[in-house]
């Protein structure tokens, strides 16, 4: 059977490999700087765990393979300018925005977008890095080096942040997971809850938005759509043409994880509607040392990425799934005792939002 090669050798590629094992599909994550040559067969397929990569010997070989799935989509979504243009073209609600060109100054941004404006670097930003708030009251100016490198967005006074993970197969069929409710602290995803009964009302709007995108791009595989919920409606914040952190809960909470969905789609295997098991909580492990006490908590499923622990770095996550709210709550209470700042507020948020 053909192999699935992955551009990038981080945790997402590793979890694709893990998910593909029971199917005996070989997934081979490739480090950008891998020195030994990669030798692809004609019928192998290539996917990516990231939307932008440096040009190296390894990435050149992988990205020029005829079966590099979604080849045209990556550059289009990796640049926030062309990503926002696509959303506008498809008339999908998103935060009003403007390109920061060579001469754009703050006053014109305040005039068109309001008195608080968020600059986002066009490429390379993640976990809230590559963002800069402009405030009219403080007379903030567009910083040096951001001209032609950023877009400006209106500040959205959202109620909460949700995300939808969906997949499209080669025949064009669409599959969606239930929306996840996400908590970000300082721009980093800390926890997700899915499904949530109170989000059922915006599920179909979300599916329509992502479905339109997947179909118009003739996309194959998993894509994630981060949204702001504002009242009864959604606005797209950003898109990720890959498996996504806010979909990690599907590893324990769904009959088919997002990783397996992605592999099935790109490998051309049959897809089916995932069956959701109870309710799930995903706690991201950000800059914390591994603690094996987590393993003693009933229902806790640890994914430890084996990376060096650094402040603000994603080093693992824990999934919990249950059909019993009391069981989920008692496990979370037990888990919470072993976490440093700012986790107490994360566990409080989870407890407040469950059910």
- Residue numbering of the annotated binding site for ATP: 80, 120, 125-131, 153-156, 161, 184, 237-238
Residues 6+ apart with CB under 8 A from 326: none
- Tokens at 238, concatenated: 């950003």
- Residue with smaller CB distance to ligand ATP, 44 or 153: 153
Residues 235-274 that bind Mg ion (CB under 5 A): 238
Which one of ligand ATP, Mg ion, none is in contact with 143 (Cβ closer than 5 to 8 A by kind)? none
- CA distances, 243 to each of 225, 305, 317 (Å): 10, 16, 15
What is the closest distance, in whole angstroms, from the C-beta atom of residue 66 to ligand ATP in the complex? 29
What is the closest distance, in whole angstroms, from the C-beta atom of residue 238 to ligand ATP in the complex? 5
The whole-angstrom separation of Cα 52 and Cα 80 is 12
Residues 212-271 that bind ligand ATP (CB under 6 A): 226, 237-238
Compute the radius of gyration of the chain from its Cα atoms. 20
What is the closest distance, in whole angstroms, from the C-beta atom of residue 340 to ligand ATP in the complex? 21
Beta bridge partners of residue 150, listed in sequence order = 100, 121
Which one of ligand ATP, Mg ion, none is in contact with 128 (Cβ closer than 5 to 8 A by kind)? ligand ATP
If one asks whether residue 170 binds ligand ATP (CB under 6 A), the answer comes out as no
What is the closest distance, in whole angstroms, from the C-beta atom of residue 95 to ligand ATP in the complex? 4
If one asks whether residue 190 binds ligand ATP (CB under 6 A), the answer comes out as no
Please check whether residue 1 is in contact with residue 25, taking contact to mean a CB–CB distance below 8 angstroms: yes
Specify the 3-state DSSP secondary structure of 192. strand
Residue with tokens 């708030």: 133
If one asks whether residue 349 binds ligand ATP (CB under 6 A), the answer comes out as no
DSSP secondary structure code for residue 276 in this structure: B
The arrangement of strands across the sheet holding 4-7 comes to 27-30, 4-7, 45-48
What is the closest distance, in whole angstroms, from the C-beta atom of residue 238 to Mg ion in the complex? 5
The whole-angstrom separation of Cα 77 and Cα 236 is 13
Q: Which stretch binds ligand ATP (CB under 6 A): 137-145, 155-163, 164-172, 310-318?
A: 155-163
Which one of ligand ATP, Mg ion, none is in contact with 273 (Cβ closer than 5 to 8 A by kind)? none
- Tokens at 125, concatenated: 């930003």
DSSP secondary structure code for residue 123 in this structure: S
- Residue with smaller CB distance to ligand ATP, 76 or 155: 155
Residues 82-111 that bind ligand ATP (CB under 6 A): 95
Residues 199-238 that bind Mg ion (CB under 5 A): 226, 238
Q: Which stretch binds ligand ATP (CB under 6 A): 44-52, 63-71, 148-156, 272-280?
A: 148-156
With CB atoms as reference, the residue minimizing the distance to Mg ion is 226
What is the closest distance, in whole angstroms, from the C-beta atom of residue 145 to ligand ATP in the complex? 18
Please check whether residue 34 is in contact with residue 58, taking contact to mean a CB–CB distance below 8 angstroms: yes
What is the closest distance, in whole angstroms, from the C-beta atom of residue 310 to ligand ATP in the complex? 16
Residues 108-147 that bind ligand ATP (CB under 6 A): 118, 120, 125-129
Extract long-range pairs of 91-95: CB within 8 Å, 24+ residues apart: 92/209, 92/212, 92/213, 92/236, 93/209, 93/233, 93/234, 93/235, 93/236, 94/235, 94/236, 94/237, 95/153, 95/154, 95/156, 95/228, 95/235, 95/237
Binding site for ligand ATP (CB under 6 A): 95, 118, 120, 125-129, 153, 155-156, 161, 184, 187, 226, 237-238
For binding to Mg ion (CB under 5 A), which residues are involved?
226, 238
């Amino acid at each position: 059977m053909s192999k699935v090669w992955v551009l990038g050798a981080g945790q997402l590629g590793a979890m694709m490999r893990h998910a593909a094992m029971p199917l005996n599909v070989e997934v081979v994550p490739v480090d950008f700087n891998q020195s030994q040559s990669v030798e692809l067969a004609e019928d192998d397929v290539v996917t990516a765990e990231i939307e932008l990569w440096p040009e190296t010997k390894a990435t050149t070989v992988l990205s020029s393979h005829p079966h590099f799935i979604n080849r045209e989509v990556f550059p289009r979504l990796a640049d926030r300018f062309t990503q926002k243009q696509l959303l506008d073209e498809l008339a999908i609600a998103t935060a009003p925005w403007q390109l920061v060109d060579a001469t754009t100054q703050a006053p014109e941004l305040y005039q068109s977008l309001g008195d608080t404006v968020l600059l986002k670097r066009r490429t390379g930003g993640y976990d809230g890095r590559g963002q800069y708030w402009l405030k009219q009251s403080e007379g903030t100016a567009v910083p040096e080096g951001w001209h032609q490198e950023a877009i400006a967005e209106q500040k959205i006074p959202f109620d909460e942040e949700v995300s939808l993970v969906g997949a499209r197969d080669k025949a064009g069929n669409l599959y969606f997971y239930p929306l996840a409710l996400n908590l970000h602290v300082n721009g980093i995803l800390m926890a997700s809850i899915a499904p949530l009964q109170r989000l059922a009302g915006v599920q179909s709007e979300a599916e329509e938005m992502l479905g339109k995108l997947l179909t118009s791009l003739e996309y194959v595989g998993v894509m994630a759509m981060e949204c702001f919920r504002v009242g009864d409606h959604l606005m797209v914040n950003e898109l990720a043409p890959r498996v996504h952190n806010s979909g990690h809960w599907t590893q324990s909470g769904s009959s088919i994880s997002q990783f397996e969905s992605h592999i099935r789609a790109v490998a051309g295997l049959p897809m089916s509607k995932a069956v959701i098991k109870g309710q799930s909580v995903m706690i991201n492990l950000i800059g914390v040392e591994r603690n094996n006490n987590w393993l003693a908590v009933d229902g806790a499923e640890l994914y430890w990425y084996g990376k060096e622990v650094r402040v603000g770095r994603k080093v693992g996550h824990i999934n919990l799934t249950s059909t019993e709210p009391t069981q989920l709550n008692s496990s979370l209470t037990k888990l919470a005792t072993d976490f440093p700042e700012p986790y107490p507020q994360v566990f409080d948020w989870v407890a407040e939002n469950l059910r």
